[in-house]
Structure 1
């Protein structure tokens, strides 16, 4: 479904990612693991058009999407739930969800999807008129996920969804991501909790200093002694 071919992103003279190649197949949950600054978030931002490529190309469902606008990436079927949630703080919960569907023309289906999100996230229904910036961290993460799903994506990218959340909320978020995948949405996940990410995923890629150093099935990565020592606490 998604293929990155020798993709590089530069920040001035600094290399963000260097000639990375990866694939995500339809229906999979694939995760990117690695230390802070390894290039995981940069990879997602390159896919959604927020970072220009220095070289390489990105293909989604057979179409080259590298170089197109973020709006066109969304229209192609890719949605992004960014690090830090990035809700619109001065808009209400309902308005944030409407923003997730702003490129869609099927307004009746948008209304039905809004109700579906409120059914899935009852706390958001309770707070639908509340300004998003006043929500708790967990509620904002739920809103960010729901907003991403309002675009009706075929592939959704999650960037550090557990960051800064209480353990009980993290468990809910991981359960939601697994549920989204079982409903047929392909998932590309960046997650600081490498063990939890590998427990959830089908396959994983390990990034170090902007390069993919190894990849494999979740079982292979969990059994890799170097990965266990460096990222899984031994």
Structure 2
């Protein structure tokens, strides 16, 4: 479904991503793990068209999307739930969800999808008219996920969905990510909780200094001594 071929992203003289090649098959949950600054978020931003490539190519469903504008990539069926949630704080919960579907023209189905999001996230229904900036961190993460799903993506990318959340919300968010995949949406996820991510994923890539240094199934990566020593506490 998604393939990155020798992709590089440059920040001035520094390569944030250095000639990485990876793929995501339809229906998979694939995770990127690695230390802060390894290039994980930059990879997602490159796929979304938010970072220009210094080299390589990105294809989705056999069509080249590298060089496309972010709105065009959304139209292709890729949604991005960014690190730090990035909700629109002055807009209401309902208005944030409407922004998630702003490219859609099927307004009736969009309203139906909003009701579906409220069914999936009852707390958001309770706070539909409330400014998003007044929600708790966990509630804002729910809103960010629901907003990404409002575009009816075929592939959704989650960037650090558990970051900064209380343990009860972390468990809830991971359950939601798995539910999204079970419902038929392919998932590519960056996650700092490597142990939890590897337990739930089909496959994983380990990035170090902008390069992929290891890859395998979740079980293989959990059993990898180098991965365990560096990221899983031995």
Aligned to 1:48: 48
* Aligned counterpart, 1:194: 194
Structure 2 spans left out of the alignment, 5+ residues? none
In the alignment of these two chains, the number of paired residues is 234
User: Which residue of structure 2 aligns with residue 85 of structure 1?
Assistant: 85
Provide the aligned C-alpha RMSD in A: 0.3
Alignment of 1:144-223 (within 5 A): 144-223=144-223
Shift of 1:14: 1.0
Number of the residue aligned with 2:106: 106
Residue deviations 1:118-162 (CA, integer Å, cap 9, x gap)? 000000000000000010000000000000000000000000000
Deviation, 1:20, is 0.2
1:31 is the counterpart of 2:31: yes
1:14 alignment partner in structure 2: 14
- Aligned counterparts of 1:204 and 1:99: Cα–Cα separation in 2: 31
Shift of 1:59: 0.1
Measure how far apart 1:189 and its partner are.
0.5
**Equivalents in 2 of 1:196, 1:74: separation in Å?**
28
Runs of 4+ in 1 over 3 A off after TM superposition: none
Residue aligned with 2:27, SS: coil
Q: Provide the TM-score with structure 2 as the length reference.
A: 1.00
Corresponding residue for residue 232 of structure 1: 232
TM-score, scaled to structure 1? 1.00
Secondary structure of residue in 1 paired with 2:74:
helix
Which whole-Å CA distance do the structure 2 matches of 1:21 and 1:77 have between them? 21
Deviation at 1:53, TM superposition (A): 0.0
Report deviation, 1:221.
Answer: 0.4
SS in 2 for 1:226: helix
Secondary structure of 1:158's partner?
strand
